[in-house]
Amino acid sequence: MLEQFGSIGYFIAAIGFALLSTLLLPSFNRKNIAKILLLQVCFSGCIWSIVSGIKIHYGHSVLPSLLAETLFNFTLTLLLIGTIINSSNLKSFFKHRLIWLSIAIGVIGILEVSRLFYPLLSQKGFFLLHLVQATIGLWLVEGLYRHQYPESMYQGIKPLCLGLGLIFGYNFAFYADAFLTNAFASTYWQGRGWLISASIPFIAFASRRIPEWGSRVYISRDVVFHSTLTLAAGLYLLMMSITGFYIKSFGSDWANVVQILFMSFSGLILAGLFFSELLRKKLKVFIAKHFFANKYEYREEWMTFYSAMENSQQSPYSRALAAIVGPFDCDYGVLIIQQQGVYTVVASINCEPKEDELAPLLDLLGEPVVDHGWVSELDKLAAGEETPPFHVERKELPLPCQFSLMIPLSLYDGSHGLFLLSRPRSTNKINWEDRDLMKALSSQISIYLTMYEANNKLAINKQFDAFNKMSSFLVHDLKNVLTQLQLLNQNAPRHKDNPEFIDDAFETIDSATGRLAAVLSQLQHKRLEQDESEWFDLTKVIKEACSQRMIQPPIPTFNGNNNEPIHLRANRERFKNVVNHLIQNAQDATPIDGKVCISLNVMPERFTIIISDTGHGMSQNFIKHRLFKPFDSTKGNAGMGLGAYDAKVLVNQLGGSINVDSALKTGTRFSLTFPFNKNVSITRDNAWTHCS
């Protein structure tokens, strides 16, 4: 049973070395001496563990195991020497005087190999040579620990010394006992595999924390945390089992009852410890401090940060506060924004601070902290243990203060804010790494809040733009209605006795009433009525527009002889207004004795509305750069510059196109072309209408 237990330890060690070498191989670099030596340690350690495990399990000769162990020790000493020298030059590595120690172990290996051919060494000689190897290894570990290193390497030296010191220290005790008794102690031999397995994580940590080794080994903090919990629970249960066995050894009647009660309460205590958040947090801090080069797993922290910022159930300010409180495990905090020179609490967690109570602290430290980008520890500042880059009278600090940290927040619109947080529980002492993470998170939050405020302002501006656009079109409609009524009033003295004029006047008044009602409706609903589409007879609408424009010379003429009506699906009133505006523009540009003609040209795949005049025309430069530009009018204060623009927008919305042909002092021709699609209905497409 003991042999199986020992062999399992060696096989676990072999698996550990194999996994570590697998992690190191992807980043292998022939020019990196330290990486080569580390891989050699993994390979030789794996070989030695397998040979030793087989020896214990099957009871083979001990000589192969000793030879494999010498090879393992040889690679370990090379790794130690390479780390002490810290040189990337192969020649300087082999020229260093410490290399003779590895050569000495190599000579020991040759002497052991000679045992296969000639019994040069006795059993005690073997023990002495391996004792010398352990001594050399311990001496190199001590030299490694005392050597001066760059700060970047120092965090990885400690776990390396612990791991290798554990190996050589155990070997020293093992072979010292064997040399004195001239025999292997089976307990030492059976337990050595488990001890080597325990040393592998230390070597892995060192490979991760020494940048010069160029290793990208990743060891999850969660794996280390849960492994530590499992190991601690196992040790606790082992101790409780031993104590329970000791209680039972009394042999009295009450011993069994006490043993059961003791084990039950022990399990209850263990469960309570496992559910203790305080214990778990302290253990995480301990692991981060002693096993990792950095306090934080930055990938996990950034993912948590972005997850907090995407919480749609909170306001943007509450998201920002939760995102910066999370990584440092603060119990409570507030976010304060300076608005118009006044500090306002915009978000809080687990506290309800009063702004007047915080005002003295903010007035004293707010601007200096933001201006210098300084993360201030308020309790240390008050105690004189912190020296900020700005002058502050400590006597003026309003103490005691419920907050411990003040983190600046610089917004890009000129304002600024502050985070006030309680003492972090994620760390015992705030250092440069905590401050850098706080500043990085604050910078990201600053961008987020700036974008949020910019989007708010943009949304408000869009509302104003929509309102201004609606107002412009409404004013344009009102102006056209006014023009109709003014022309009617001007023609009344000459034609008031003409019955036809009276009929046209009532039609004009009816049209003006309808358009004014539409304007009033749009004002009441605060939007333009553009979505109320309906089917209507295109020819009839064109004739109505011509009829409305007959109050102004030259009188427009419409000629058409198509037998089947064309039905168009659109906003009828808006379409008629567009045609009306184009006719009016043609009339305004044409002298009284000129011509304004409207025609409808129907073809198999499309139809075209043509509005032509014999007016003064337009230049190509005006057509290209100004005609369809809103609020650009050639009529001065009398025009809004929206008629042609609105026509182009409507035609495009209906899937059509608008084309303008014009020449100065000749005339202008507007062509509104529409394809036959879902918005057009016609039964016969061979009819032609034209302007004569």
Give Cβ neighbours of residue 482 (< 8 Å, ≥ 6 apart).
Answer: none
State pLDDT tens for residues 664-691. 888 999 999 998 877 776 644 433 333 3
pLDDT at 261: 65
275 by Cβ neighbours in 10 Å (0-12 / 13-18 / 19+) ranks as exposed
Question: Which has more pLDDT, 573 or 289?
Answer: 573
What is the count of structural domains for the chain? 4
Residues 259 and 202 in one domain: no
User: Which residue type does 677 have?
Assistant: N
- Give the residue from 293, 321, 340 where a domain finishes: 293
Task: Determine the average pLDDT of the residues in 445-472.
Answer: 73
Q: ∠ CA(78), CA(82), CA(86), 5° rounding?
A: 175
Q: Is the pLDDT of residue 57 over 90?
A: no
Residues 541 and 684 in one domain: yes
From the list 285, 247, 251, the residue with the least C-alpha distance to 266 is 247
Rounded Cα gap, residues 482 and 489, in angstroms: 10
pLDDT at 598: 92
Tokens at 106, concatenated:
């190599």
Task: Say if strands 557-559 and 596-602 run parallel, antiparallel, or are unpaired.
Answer: parallel
State pLDDT tens for residues 323-362. 888 888 888 899 988 876 778 888 888 888 877 778 888 8
Q: Per mean pLDDT, which range of 182-191, 392-401, 477-486 is the poorest?
A: 477-486
Tokens at 198, concatenated:
């325990």
Residues 189 and 267 in one domain: no
pLDDT at 613: 94
Does the residue 516 lie in any domain? no
Q: Is the pLDDT of residue 443 over 50?
A: yes
From the list 578, 588, 601, the residue with the least C-alpha distance to 647 is 578
Q: At 692, is the pLDDT very low, low, confident or very high (cuts 50, 70, 90)?
A: very low
The model's pTM: 0.43
Rounded Cα gap, residues 48 and 116, in angstroms: 18
Q: At 637, is the pLDDT very low, low, confident or very high (cuts 50, 70, 90)?
A: very low
From the list 401, 407, 411, the residue with the least C-alpha distance to 434 is 407
pLDDT at 434: 81
Q: Residue 674, SS3?
A: strand
State pLDDT tens for residues 539-557. 889 988 888 788 788 989 9
Does the residue 483 lie in any domain? no
Q: At 459, is the pLDDT very low, low, confident or very high (cuts 50, 70, 90)?
A: confident
Residues 677 and 594 in one domain: yes
Question: Domain range for residue 344?
Answer: 298-446
Could you tell me which residues are beta bridge partners of residue 539?
Answer: none
The percentage of the chain sitting over the pLDDT mark of 90, rounded to a whole number, equals 5
Angle separating helix axes 186-209 and 2-24, nearest 10 degrees:
20
Q: Per mean pLDDT, which range of 307-311, 499-503, 507-511, 561-565 is the poorest?
A: 561-565
pLDDT at 686: 38
Does the residue 346 lie in any domain? yes
Rounded Cα gap, residues 363 and 347, in angstroms: 19
- Give the residue from 219, 248, 278 where a domain finishes: 219
The DSSP 8-state label assigned to residue 409 in this structure reads: E
Rounded Cα gap, residues 42 and 421, in angstroms: 47
Tokens at 5, concatenated:
């237990």
Does the residue 64 lie in any domain? yes
Residues 209 and 322 in one domain: no
Say how many Å lie between the first and final Cα of the chain, rounded.
Answer: 116
Cβ atoms of residues 590 and 613 within 8 Å:
yes
pLDDT at 683: 47
pLDDT at 277: 63
Q: At 596, is the pLDDT very low, low, confident or very high (cuts 50, 70, 90)?
A: very high
Does the residue 476 lie in any domain? no
Q: Per mean pLDDT, which range of 225-229, 531-535, 585-589 is the poorest?
A: 225-229
pLDDT at 466: 62
User: Which residue type does 288 have?
Assistant: A
Q: How many CA atoms lie within 13 A of 521 on its CB side?
A: 10
Does the residue 553 lie in any domain? yes
Could you tell me which residues are beta bridge partners of residue 377?
Answer: 405
37 by Cβ neighbours in 10 Å (0-12 / 13-18 / 19+) ranks as buried
pLDDT at 312: 76
Q: Residue 512, SS3?
A: helix
Q: Is the pLDDT of residue 502 over 70?
A: yes
State the CATH number of the domain containing residue 433.
Answer: 3.30.450.40
Residues 367 and 228 in one domain: no
State pLDDT tens for residues 131-176. 888 888 888 888 887 775 555 555 667 788 888 888 888 888 888 8
**Over the Cα atoms of the chain, what is R_g?**
46
Rounded Cα gap, residues 207 and 601, in angstroms: 84
Question: Which has more pLDDT, 13 or 476?
Answer: 13
Does the residue 461 lie in any domain? no
Residues 105 and 236 in one domain: no
Residues 246 and 185 in one domain: no
Question: Which has more pLDDT, 202 or 383?
Answer: 202
Residues 88 and 203 in one domain: yes
How many H helices and E strands in the chain? 21, 13
State the CATH number of the domain containing residue 571.
Answer: 3.30.565.10
Tokens at 233, concatenated:
């629970």
Using CA atoms, how far residue 241 sits from 244, 266, 270, 309, 470, in Å, is: 5, 10, 13, 49, 84
pLDDT at 688: 35
- Give the residue from 219, 243, 268 where a domain finishes: 219
Residues 66 and 196 in one domain: yes
Does the residue 353 lie in any domain? yes
State pLDDT tens for residues 8-33. 888 888 888 888 888 777 666 666 67
Residues 214 and 340 in one domain: no
Residues 285 and 173 in one domain: no
State pLDDT tens for residues 374-391. 888 888 887 777 778 888
Rounded Cα gap, residues 65 and 53, in angstroms: 9
Q: Is the pLDDT of residue 224 over 70?
A: no
pLDDT at 661: 92
